[in-house]
Amino acid sequence: MIDTHCHVHDKQFDGDRDAVVARARDAGVTAMITIGEDVADSRRAIAIAEPYEISVAVGIHPHEAKNASPDAVAELRALLDAPGVIAIGETGLDYYYDHSPREAQAAVLRTQIRLAREVGLPVVFHHRDAFADFCAILREEWRDEMRGVVHCFTGTAAQARTFIGEFDLYLGIGGVLTFPNASGLREAVVEAGPGKLVLETDCPYLAPVPMRGKRNEPSFVAHTAAKLGELLGMAQDDLIAATDENAKTLFDL
């Protein structure tokens, strides 16, 4: 299994990161991508991930957009040659929390898409409650040859159709899939089928059932994989092979 979106460099893992990574490998997690949330956090991700040979995405989260300097893209660009860096993100729009002004979120999103376009790296998108504006920006900035994922996808079947059908994006499926109240998401995932789905934890957040409420960690991706296989009527081995293949294509692993 590949955990395509974690924050294993987060300080919540500082006390026991060796054990967390060991448990992930014991559970069959063959690759992890730890995701930066601003320039400093991306630098920290690179430094912490390197000895574990964990891959890294560097980017500016919409929550942090208000703090991004005018040189932020140059600062991100300077990180792209660092060991393990394979993607740009996470970047996007979050109108649920609105921690940054929407104009700032949009501006930082556009510059990161343009950077990815220029350097040919995939993009990790964070999207919440901003579907129309997010698609409007993609229609202007996205190009057919680009690769990307809408991480922690929790939307409707219609949104899944747009992300996959119009933009050829992958959908990152995490612990929310296992939550009792996520029937809409489960329907969307069944309709989408396995062709564009990848697994993720978003740890330390959003632990899947039966670990809900605990600190999430990459080994828990197995619970989401089990639920996804059950929903899609696939044997675990087949589900894992399919989502691994998608992740390898998406991130060129």
Q: Which of residues 17, 43, 44, 126 is near Zn ion by CB under 5 A?
A: 126
- Compute the least distance from the CB of residue 209 to Zn ion, in Å: 20
What residues from 79 to 98 belong to the interface with Zn ion (CB under 5 A)? 90
Closer CB to Zn ion, 64 or 229, in the complex: 64
Which of 128, 180, 151 has its CA nearest to residue 34? 151
What residues from 184 to 213 belong to the interface with Zn ion (CB under 5 A)? 202
How big is the chain by its Cα radius of gyration, in Å? 17
Rounded to the nearest angstrom, the gap between the alpha carbon of residue 191 and the centroid of all alpha carbons in its chain is 21
Q: Which among 31-39, 68-76, 189-197, 243-251 is the span making contact with Zn ion, rule CB under 5 A?
A: 31-39
Q: How many residues bind Zn ion (CB under 5 A)?
A: 4
Q: CA torsion angle for 234, 238, 241, 246 (degrees, to 10)?
A: -40
CA distance 2 to 222: 10
- Compute the least distance from the CB of residue 117 to Zn ion, in Å: 21
Closer CB to Zn ion, 176 or 225, in the complex: 176
Closer CB to Zn ion, 9 or 223, in the complex: 9
- Compute the least distance from the CB of residue 224 to Zn ion, in Å: 15
Cβ count near 193 (within 10 Å): 13
127 lies in the binding site for Zn ion (CB under 5 A): no
- Compute the least distance from the CB of residue 222 to Zn ion, in Å: 19
Closer CB to Zn ion, 94 or 244, in the complex: 94
The enclosing H or E element of 150 equals strand 148-151
Closer CB to Zn ion, 6 or 229, in the complex: 6
The CA distances from residue 31 to 2, 5, 44, 237, 248, in Å, are: 5, 10, 19, 16, 10
Length of the chain measured in residues: 253
* Beta bridge partners of residue 171, listed in sequence order: 150, 197
Q: Residues in the site for Zn ion, rule: CB under 5 A?
A: 35, 90, 126, 202
